[in-house]
């Protein structure tokens, strides 16, 4: 029996879809025939979107500005749901990280990290799950982090948020199981993205590579296939789980 991931005639919602893991997820969802609404903080859509739309003219691929650190985003999401009521796949990917010793954490930074990484996924899931429950089908994947399982110095705020997201995933999976809505978390390790470069710097990235058994940072396309599987109809029985994709970093 051949197994092929397909999202034909399905609507997928992806936060933080303009770069890094989110961008790859949008591109791969499009290749799997999904209709997509994805978000980012920029006022204008990314330049590569037009190319993607031309490549898949039979699918709807829509960009919306949604800054999850601002109060106005909830109303904007409600408008999106009203326009696209058939969303059956949700990938809560947007995230921010500000490295700071606990003695120097700014309250405003802590609130922002929690808002984007933890509070927003809860609200998004709450709103989208209502439509999924009506259809008795839904797949939700929360992009957490290995720092929700382990941690490093300076990551207290980020670890708190990502640990919370993992716990939230488990509880929400129980809430929604009776409606055939499967909810899981994926925890990437160190991924070669702009965020990682900004946080670690080139020297720090080289040092981390030496601590990863596979000897390299992940690329975004190392993460995407697992996310797509959990978000697809091929996943029929996995819910409330946390999948770590880190090249063996935590085991070592």
- 164's CB contacts (< 8 A; 6+ apart) are 114, 117, 118, 148
- Give the H/E segment covering residue 185: strand 181-188
- Name the active-site residue from 56, 84, 158, 237: 158
158 counts as catalytic: yes
Burial 110-131 (b: 16+ CB within 10 A, else e): bebbbbbbbbbbbebbebbbeb
Are 59 and 10 within 8 A, CB to CB? Answer: no
CA distance 133 to 49: 31
Closest by CA position to 139, among listed 87, 90, 86, 175? 90
Tell me the residue length of the chain. 252
Identify the DSSP state of 218.
B
Region at 49 (left for phi over 0; alpha for psi -120 to 50; beta for the rest): alpha
Closest by CA position to 41, among listed 80, 73, 11, 89? 73
CA distance 138 to 203: 42
List the catalytic residues.
158
């Amino acid at each position: 029996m051949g197994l092929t991931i397909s999202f034909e005639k399905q609507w997928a919602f992806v936060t933080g879809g303009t770069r890094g893991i989110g961008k790859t997820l949008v591109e791969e969802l499009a290749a799997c025939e999904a209709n997509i609404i994805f978000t980012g903080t920029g006022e204008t859509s990314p330049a590569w979107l037009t190319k993607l739309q031309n490549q898949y003219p039979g699918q709807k691929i829509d960009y919306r500005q949604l800054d999850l650190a601002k109060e106005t985003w909830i109303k904007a999401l409600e408008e999106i749901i009203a326009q696209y009521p058939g969303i059956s796949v949700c990938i809560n990917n947007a995230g921010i990280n500000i490295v700071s010793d606990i003695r120097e954490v700014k309250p405003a930074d802590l609130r922002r990290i929690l808002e984007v990484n933890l509070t927003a996924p809860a609200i998004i899931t709450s709103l989208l799950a209502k439509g999924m429950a009506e259809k008795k089908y839904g797949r939700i994947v929360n992009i957490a982090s290995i720092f929700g399982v382990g941690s490093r110095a300076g990551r207290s705020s980020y670890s708190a948020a990502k640990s919370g997201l993992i716990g939230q995933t488990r509880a929400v999976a129980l809430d929604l199981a009776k409606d055939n809505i499967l909810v899981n978390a994926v925890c990437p390790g160190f991924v070669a993205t702009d965020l990682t470069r900004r946080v670690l710097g080139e020297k720090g990235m080289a040092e981390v590579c030496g601590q990863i058994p596979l000897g390299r940072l992940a690329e975004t396309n190392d993460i995407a296939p697992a996310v797509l599987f959990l978000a697809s109809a091929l996943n029929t029985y996995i819910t409330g789980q946390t999948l770590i994709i880190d090249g063996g970093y935590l085991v070592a």
